[in-house]
Amino acid sequence: MGQLEVICGSMFSGKSEELIRRTRRVVIAKKRIAVFKPSIDKRYGASTVNSHNGSSVEARVVDIGDTESIKDIALREQVDVVAIDEAQFFDDALVDVVRDLVRRGLRVVVAGLDLDFAGRPFGPMPVLLALADDVTKLKAICVKCGEPAFYTQRLINGQPASVRDPLIVIGGKESYEARCRKCYELRED
């Protein structure tokens, strides 16, 4: 029987690290796995999923509007497990692809931001969270006060971004910080 596991949280909460950990356990169990990532995420390497602590695993790169290729590869290669990193960047068609894979008996592990920098549900993640058999919500550490952080603070020239700024800006510590609810800021202008 298939199942859907969703790993979510803010940036720097360890989502990719947890996805990599689960991927390694699948390999130890001698199961077949295919790992995917969106083509727009080139921060650490073109064909690997990487955590901020340096862990990595090989991945197939998929265009954000071509989620059907995830299903095609998984079925053609007869894998047992599909792992998808940075799922928030894919289009809403990812939901149907994941549903179909789970119906076919595959275990699907999805990792992604549940909220965008403006605190809004991000991409297909809200639906995937609602459909999940298991949800792991990770917390980062607030860079301001040290409390658990659920928000991703985007910074532009060291200042909080405006709600009107572009939704997707690929970056790391130079552009984003983990913040708790109290320390999170969003300009409304």
Q: What positions carry a catalytic annotation?
A: 86
Which residue reads 């020239």 in tokens? 157
* SS3 of residue 138 by DSSP: strand
Give the span between the Cα atoms of 53 and 7, in whole angstroms: 17
Smallest CA-to-CA distance from 38 within 69, 2, 8 is with 69
Look at residues 92, 82, 23, 90 and name the one whose alpha carbon lies nearest to residue 51: 23
Closest CA to 86 of 51, 133, 131, 130: 51
